[in-house]
Structure 1
Amino acid sequence: MNKKIPASIIRQIFVVLTLLMAAVLIIYEMLPYLGGVLAAVTLYVLLVPAQRFFEKKGWKPWIAATLLLVVSIIVILLPIAGLALMFTSQIKDALANSDKITEQIKAQIVQIEEYVGFDVIPAINGDQVKSTLSYVFSNFASSSLTIFIAVGVMFFILYYMLVERKTWQNATLRYLPLKKKNIEAIGKESIDLVKSNAIAIPLVAIMQGAVALIGYYIFGVENPFFWFGVTVIGSMIPFVGTALGIGPVVILLLAQGNTEAAIGVLIYGAVVVGSTDNLFRLIVQKKLADIHPLITLIGVVIGVPLFGFIGLIFGPLLISLFLLLIKIYKNEYGDRDETI
């Protein structure tokens, strides 16, 4: 006699498949703004202690959340917007004077080649330089709308995470198929890692940028605060580092005929700025969660292509949570008497 599949099982499978399809569709459509979602989670971890503090003082949740959003806009968005405006202005100036800059660089390269006796760099095409700068500028402009929407999504999610934090925390405990102690372990691990990376990475970058800024002033670099911003951004990017700011400064000084200052900035950047990375990182990491360098390296390599710039934080978090889930699985289902 053939056994029939119970109708309840068929209905359950249908509901699960529908949920999976809806989840895939939602995630696919949200991918361009995933950075905003993850940034909201990061800011929530950093701001929720202040939210609790204000609520204990008798503030209404929505008033406390609004104040924290305004503060985060002033502290985070305004400096970024200022740097973006400076970047746009510099690119426009470079486009307007690209032929002059190219000729200056060529003249300096000719002098270097005459001194060393061989070709240092292949011929520089002025039109190619201009087209490259135009491409960078147009890409920056075209991504502005996506960035604006992602920032809006970030603040919208952050507001409701702060105001209704108890609701979604209780929902997490209720619906995740794990024991309460394991959910709490995941939460603690996530909070520690987010705090560590969200604070340590920008703080170390700003400290390195400040050291570089001193050098820019010493050697008379034009627009030192702009190059300070570029150096800070470069310091947060793996395998690029402060060279993103120091390299162009050296090239510009050479193009201006200021060879001594260019050599000075190059040596200062390589010796002084370069050596501060490990020192500052060691000082900051002692105050925060101790993350293994291998987890950070692998996490960043995976996280940046996957999540964008915010992957600097969530890449290592993804690796750490993966290892934690393996440990939780072993504790819940593994035989403690058996070894591999």
Structure 2
Amino acid sequence: MSRQTVQSKAFIIVLGLITLAFLTILLPFWSSIFWACVMTLLFYPLQRRLRKKFNGRDTLAALATLLAGVFLVVIPVTMIAFAFVSEGAQLYELIENQEIEPDQLLERIGSAVPIIPDVLDRLDIDMSNVRSYLSDSAVSLSRQLSQEALSFGRNTVSFTVGLVLMLYLTFFLLRDGDKMMGWLSTAVPLENDRRQLLFSKFTEVVRATVKGNLVVAMVQGALGGLIFWLLGITAPVLWAVVMAFLSLVPAVGAALVWVPVAIYLFATGEVVQGSILVAYGAIIIGLADNVLRPILVGRDTKLPDYVVLFSTLGGISLLGINGFVIGPLIAALFISFWATFSQDLNR
């Protein structure tokens, strides 16, 4: 083995170790880094337009783009997060003080919709056990939300630091994004054509996946929370967040929340409110996904519903709230890169 070969291999090993050490140092801040990249990808088209208007002044364009992101995304999401944990704590207090009794709600629904107890009887399911299970589950879930609210309050400082770091990095990614991508493309050991194809596909998939999942989920959650608030339903922001998450479930999605609520409204004699909720949910909330997703994602990069479902649930189970985006993103990149590899292989 020649001396030059030994030196090359030694350099690669040292390079790998240094890279691993650097990534380990960044590990406590990976969430801030990830969301900074997401913000950059979402608002980079705006940055390019503003750069032209500001005659190529990258710093001014990046600052204006960052301010737009803060007002359009960061402030609303932060307010929703605080309202979510606050309403979760209030819901727990209502259940704990027996102002809301889940077992009685189920009994009312069963009385108004006799088919439900009949079906349970045919399946040999004891209605009293179902009421007890739902009551215990509601108390447990609301208690967990209350604990999360306390934890969120204690971690306000770390949340603020992470938010500041995210915005700080987003500014530099917006300003120097082209230079970074140019350096990164030259560092990837691939042919120029394949490198350009993979980078363009990567950018396309990331933007489509992030926009398709986040924007559609936020819109459906906002629409659901709005109608819940107008109808005077308890904790509308909390249910809006739940509907946003469930919007990723194929075929049903947010209906897993508003349909039982509509049934309860009918069961308690609120026929007008129940009818409004059914019509609004079926027409407005239901069509939001079918209208927005093709516009934001496009047909070429749209993932199958079952892939979105499993990748999202897997991402959340492994990575928490960040997996809501990372799971489908990894799935989209997996499919795109394998499709590119197959095309190259069959040429």
TM-score normalized by the length of structure 1: 0.74
Does residue 156 of the first structure (1) align with residue 164 of the second (2)?
no
3-state secondary structure, aligned to 2:190: coil
Q: Which residue does 1:82 correspond to in 2? A: 79
Separation in 1 of the partners of 2:310 and 2:105? 40
Separation in 1 of the partners of 2:226 and 2:207? 29
Change (3 A) 1:234 1:297: closer
- 1:160 Cα deviation after fit: 1.4
Separation in 2 of the partners of 1:275 and 1:246? 13
Does residue 12 of the first structure (1) align with residue 20 of the second (2)?
no
CA offsets, 1:198-255, max 9 Å, x none?
323344334434553464356432454x25632553345547942675489679x78x
- 1:159 Cα deviation after fit: 1.4
Separation in 2 of the partners of 1:327 and 1:216? 43
1:1-340 aligned at under 5 Å gives the runs 5-57=1-53, 58=55, 60-101=57-98, 104-105=101-102, 107-108=104-105, 118-119=127-128, 120-122=130-132, 124=135, 131-141=143-153, 144-209=156-221, 211-213=223-225, 215-216=227-228, 219-222=231-234, 224=236, 226-227=237-238, 229-236=240-247, 238=249, 241-242=253-254, 246=258, 259-261=268-270, 265=274, 273=281, 279-287=287-295, 288-290=297-299, 291-293=302-304, 294-329=306-341, 334=345, 336=347
CA offsets, 1:129-164, max 9 Å, x none?
775454333343455455434433322222112211
Change (3 A) 1:27 1:298: farther
Give, as a single letter, the amino acid of the residue that structure 1 aligns with 2:241. V
Change (3 A) 1:260 1:67: same
Separation in 2 of the partners of 1:296 and 1:49? 25
Separation in 2 of the partners of 1:137 and 1:245? 22
Give, as a single letter, the amino acid of the residue that structure 1 aligns with 2:97. K
For structure 1, the residue ranges without an aligned partner over 5 or more in a row are: none
Percent identity at matched positions? Answer: 18
Count of aligned pairs between the two proteins: 326
Q: In terms of mean alpha carbon deviation, does 143-152 or 181-190 score higher?
A: 143-152
For structure 2, the residue ranges without an aligned partner over 5 or more in a row are: 118-125
Separation in 1 of the partners of 2:156 and 2:248? 20
Instruction: Calculate the aligned-residue CA RMSD, in Å.
Output: 4.1
Separation in 1 of the partners of 2:58 and 2:154? 37
Separation in 2 of the partners of 1:97 and 1:280? 33
Q: In terms of mean alpha carbon deviation, does 158-167 or 20-29 score higher?
A: 20-29
CA offsets, 1:266-309, max 9 Å, x none?
x8767853676663333223323221315434543444345543
Change (3 A) 1:82 1:98: same
Conserved in 2, the CA contact under 8 Å of 1:55 and 1:64? yes
Change (3 A) 1:286 1:233: closer
Change (3 A) 1:160 1:296: same
- 1:174 Cα deviation after fit: 1.3
